[in-house]
Structure 1
Amino acid sequence: MNKWAWMSLGTVIVNVLLFFMFRGPNVDLPLVVAVESSLSIIGLVCAVLSKKIIAGTAGFVLNGGVLIVMGFLLLAMGISEP
């Protein structure tokens, strides 16, 4: 694996750690969604740049999954607003 693949998988690990660190009723949720979405997009770009089949696919799928979860979280925030 090259440095791009490691960076892609590293962004997944950072996203998961941030997701579990910033929880609770007093969290600034739009900021968390923005930070994790941008990290996920950076991870997707790194996965494409890695040009390795296994590592690139794993990074692309995992970062895409994080991006989908953040999209659902953003959708849930919009539904819950009065």
Structure 2
Amino acid sequence: MGTEVIGMNKNKVGNILGINSILPAIVSMIVFFILSGPDADGYLIVIIFSLLSIIGVFMAVIGLIFDKRRITAFIGLVANLIVLVCTFLLFLAMRIGEV
């Protein structure tokens, strides 16, 4: 009884969360190509990337807790952390450009 979460075992929940944690990184790349351009709103892009990346990291951490194999959740965690670092660098470049 303790290993079931909503009728599924922990490994299956962890695997689903690990796969779903990769999706925010993919959506971030798609949003970047849609919103990029000379008159793009950089702050909107930073907000979208940050929110998607934080959601992805949260799902990956929960997936790491539940899954025994942990490979998909680890890939999702790394991908979302890379997006978060790139978002920070983009925000830093925008702030430096204002000076």
Please tell me whether the aligned partners of residues 18 and 74 of structure 2 are also in contact (alpha carbons under 8 angstroms). Answer: no
Partner Cα distance (2:29, 2:50) in 1: 12
* TM-score (normalizing by structure 2): 0.77
The offset of 1:6, in angstroms, is 2.1
Moved over 3 A (4+): none
Unaligned runs of 5+ in 2: 1-11
Which one has a bigger Cα radius of gyration? 2
* Stretches of structure 1 lacking an aligned partner (at least 5 in a row): none
% identity of equivalent residues: 38
The reply to whether residue 35 of structure 1 matches residue 48 of structure 2 is yes
Q: Please identify, of 44-53 and 55-64, the stretch whose mean Cα deviation from structure 2 is larger.
A: 44-53
Q: CA offsets per residue over residues 12-52 of structure 1, 9 Å max, x none?
A: 11011111111111111101101111100000000011123
Higher strand content, 1 or 2:
2
> Normalized against structure 1, the TM-score is what?
0.92
